Structure 1
């Protein structure tokens, strides 16, 4: 599968909202219904830079970055497209464009995501608790790969 990454444009937003809803539903089964909506998606990316992963003509994932703090807020890949390189490609773009170290959080119960980030060289730098449960804070040097 050939995957390309490009900046998101306004026309991508309905598809990204669909990916958000599909992935949140599959990954976070205890997420309340109001957390799995197009409105929740729009709120989650407000003020962030966004890139999409494309396979053929199909958008299969996205990443959103809060640039002032080099924080990856969202990285979602359609469940049927996971494990094919889209997440790696999205992270690579984010890391190349970063102005310093990047950070992200992942829920502790999301062991698949945690293992993915660790394989990509991210290291644990903290942990905490949210309403949704415990999380890890991860960091990786940005601006290089």
Structure 2
């Protein structure tokens, strides 16, 4: 393991914008990639707690959550780093700091992410529709 988990710092922003854009292009192939903006990262993490996976000094992934609701909003890893356990460690580190129960929403079409969460002990609550498409609400209490 050549990477570690650190608290978010402003110097991570530029790299994480790119991670977020590239990871969404892979995770959401049904969405026109032109619609993804670099500044989307700023909007989705505003006022959230963020942890960053860095390899040497380069951010390669992040998790962001809203502590008042124990809601994980984002978990993304650079496509070049998928499969190295980074998402699992980011999630585990977040879960060590967040209250219970924890919830998150995942796009129903994102089967890879859903399988990841189920493998980590998350439980299905419901599937619902949103303006951005169907999503699955998951909970974790352990």
**TM-score (structure 2 length as normaliser):** 0.92
Shift of 1:128: 1.0
| Alignment-derived partner of residue 138 in structure 2 | 138
Shift of 1:67: 0.7
Contact 1:49 1:64 in 2 (8 A): yes
Provide the rounded CA distance (Å) in 2 between the counterparts of 1:12 and 1:97. 21
Shift of 1:131: 2.0
> 3-state DSSP class of the match of 1:54?
strand
Shift of 1:24: 1.1
Contact 1:101 1:141 in 2 (8 A): yes
Provide the rounded CA distance (Å) in 2 between the counterparts of 1:112 and 1:33. 19
> 3-state DSSP class of the match of 1:12?
helix
Judge which range, 25-34 or 70-79, deviates more: 25-34
| Alignment-derived partner of residue 53 in structure 1 | 53
2:16 aligned with 1:16, yes or no?
yes
| Alignment-derived partner of residue 114 in structure 1 | 114
Which segments of 5 or more consecutive residues in structure 1 lack a partner in the other structure?
Answer: none
Contact 1:34 1:40 in 2 (8 A): no
Contact 1:8 1:51 in 2 (8 A): yes
Shift of 1:40: 1.7
| Alignment-derived partner of residue 69 in structure 1 | 69
RMSD: 1.5
Contact 1:102 1:141 in 2 (8 A): yes
Deviation string for 1:76-118 (max 9, x for gaps)?
Answer: 0011111111101110111100122111111111000000000
